């Protein structure tokens, strides 16, 4: 199999454990080559290997785009939910073929209004979340409607819209719910809200989420996974599930619940034992 290797930190490609994995795979007639952009992916590539943490995996998902090439996350020691496998685990799975492919939903964000520092390379898709944040000291008012039905205005530092994959990322940090990746939902969560009576909201993944902002500042920030864009405060957004998904390589022994307990120490309590 032809395997493209991507990393945001090329020093990781010199790691002894990674080089050992490469040697074993090449000895078994797999062809590995490095990429930096989507244009570097050659015809016949069967897998993209993301080497690093979850941020690298998110960048790799952009390189793959709508091609349908699956992404395997190889982690060299950092916390990771998308990129969770050690080089040794990944190598054994490829050599034995004991892995499956899972579909992870992407969000597509349409922007009406001025993007102040974007260019023609703007990519509207996100795997984890899209968020809008205040661009200055003033509080941000965020108006949201779901399939045309308006919600009360959120007064906050910002608001995020997340996939179930992103429930353990930024959404978790702002008090959003944990959702298993197979959940077909969208999470809407305020960031540092100034309303005491607002909570994160979970809606079906068929929902179209429309967003507009109220701000004394002329600029608001928009974060899309690990990419940042500045918007005019009068811009409007439309967020929905994309028509294509990302294929992620999943090893047979992988367990989301196990990842929660081992990586986030979910439920760790001396009374529970076994942690």
Among residues 6, 72, 7, 36, the alpha carbon closest in space to that of 246 is found at: 72
User: Looking at residue 166, what is its pLDDT?
Assistant: 95
Asked whether residue 263 carries a pLDDT value surpassing 90, the answer given is: no
Question: Measured between alpha carbons, how far is 271 from 151 in angstroms, rounded to an integer?
Answer: 41
Question: Measured between alpha carbons, how far is 65 from 45 in angstroms, rounded to an integer?
Answer: 14
Entry field: residues in the chain:
275
pLDDT grade for 268, boundaries at 50, 70 and 90: confident
Beta strands at 71-74 and 45-51: parallel, antiparallel or unpaired? parallel
Q: What is the pLDDT of residues 135-155, one digit of tens each?
A: 999 999 999 999 999 999 999
Higher pLDDT, 252 or 6: 6
Helix H or strand E segment including 23: helix 16-27
Instruction: Indicate the SS3 state at residue 233.
Output: coil
Q: Where is mean pLDDT largest: 109-118, 187-196, 247-256?
A: 187-196
107-111, 231-235, 265-269: lowest mean pLDDT where?
A: 265-269
Active site residues: 54
Asked whether residue 77 carries a pLDDT value surpassing 70, the answer given is: no
- Sign (positive or negative) of CA dihedral 153, 221, 179, 242: positive
What's the CA dihedral at 179, 62, 55, 213 to 10 degrees? -70
What does DSSP assign to residue 93?
Answer: H
Higher pLDDT, 69 or 258: 69
Mean pLDDT over the full length of the chain: 92
> What is the gyration radius of the CA atoms in the chain, in angstroms?
20
% the chain with pLDDT above 90: 80
Question: Measured between alpha carbons, how far is 207 from 201 in angstroms, rounded to an integer?
Answer: 12
Asked whether residue 117 carries a pLDDT value surpassing 90, the answer given is: no
Asked whether residue 273 carries a pLDDT value surpassing 80, the answer given is: no
pTM of this prediction exceeds 0.85: yes
Mean pLDDT for 245-257 is 89
Among residues 108, 124, 85, the alpha carbon closest in space to that of 227 is found at: 124
% the chain with pLDDT above 70: 97
Asked whether residue 119 carries a pLDDT value surpassing 70, the answer given is: no
Through-space distance between the first and last CA atoms of the chain, rounded to whole angstroms: 38
Asked whether residue 218 carries a pLDDT value surpassing 70, the answer given is: yes
Mean pLDDT for 27-50 is 96
- Strands of the sheet containing 45-51, edge to edge, are 31-34, 2-6, 45-51, 71-74, 246-251, 99-104
Instruction: Indicate the SS3 state at residue 231.
Output: strand
Asked whether residue 165 carries a pLDDT value surpassing 70, the answer given is: yes
Structure tokens at 40: 């570097």
Mean pLDDT for 66-89 is 89
User: Looking at residue 10, what is its pLDDT?
Assistant: 87
pLDDT grade for 120, boundaries at 50, 70 and 90: low
User: Looking at residue 274, what is its pLDDT?
Assistant: 57
Asked whether residue 26 carries a pLDDT value surpassing 90, the answer given is: yes
Among residues 138, 110, 122, 114, the alpha carbon closest in space to that of 234 is found at: 114
């Amino acid at each position: 199999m032809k395997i493209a290797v991507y990393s945001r930190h090329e020093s990781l490609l010199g790691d002894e454990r990674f080089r050992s994995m490469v040697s074993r795979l090449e000895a078994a007639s797999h062809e590995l080559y490095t990429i930096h952009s989507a244009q570097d992916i050659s015809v016949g590539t069967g897998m993209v290997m993301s080497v690093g943490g979850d941020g690298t995996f998110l960048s790799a998902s952009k390189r793959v785009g709508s091609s349908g090439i699956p992404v395997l996350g190889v982690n060299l020691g950092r916390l990771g939910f998308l990129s969770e496998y050690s080089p040794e685990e990944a190598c054994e799975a490829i050599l034995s073929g004991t892995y499956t492919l899972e579909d992870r939903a992407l969000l597509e964000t349409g922007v009406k209004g001025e993007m102040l520092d974007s260019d023609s390379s703007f990519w509207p898709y996100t795997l984890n979340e899209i968020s809008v944040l205040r661009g200055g000291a003033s509080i941000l008012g965020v108006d949201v409607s779901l399939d045309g039905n308006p919600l009360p205005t959120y007064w906050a530092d910002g608001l995020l819209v997340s996939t179930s994959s992103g429930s353990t990322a930024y959404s978790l940090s702002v008090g959003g719910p944990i959702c298993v990746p197979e959940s077909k939902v969208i999470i809407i969560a305020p960031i540092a809200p100034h309303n005491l009576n607002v909570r994160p909201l979970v809606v079906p993944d068929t929902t179209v989420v429309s967003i507009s902002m109220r701000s004394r500042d002329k600029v608001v920030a928009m974060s899309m996974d690990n990419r940042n864009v500045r918007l005019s405060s009068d811009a409007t957004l439309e967020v929905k599930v994309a028509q294509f998904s990302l294929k992620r390589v999943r090893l047979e022994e992988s367990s989301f619940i196990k990842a929660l307990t081992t990586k986030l120490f979910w439920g760790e309590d001396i009374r529970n034992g076994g942690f």
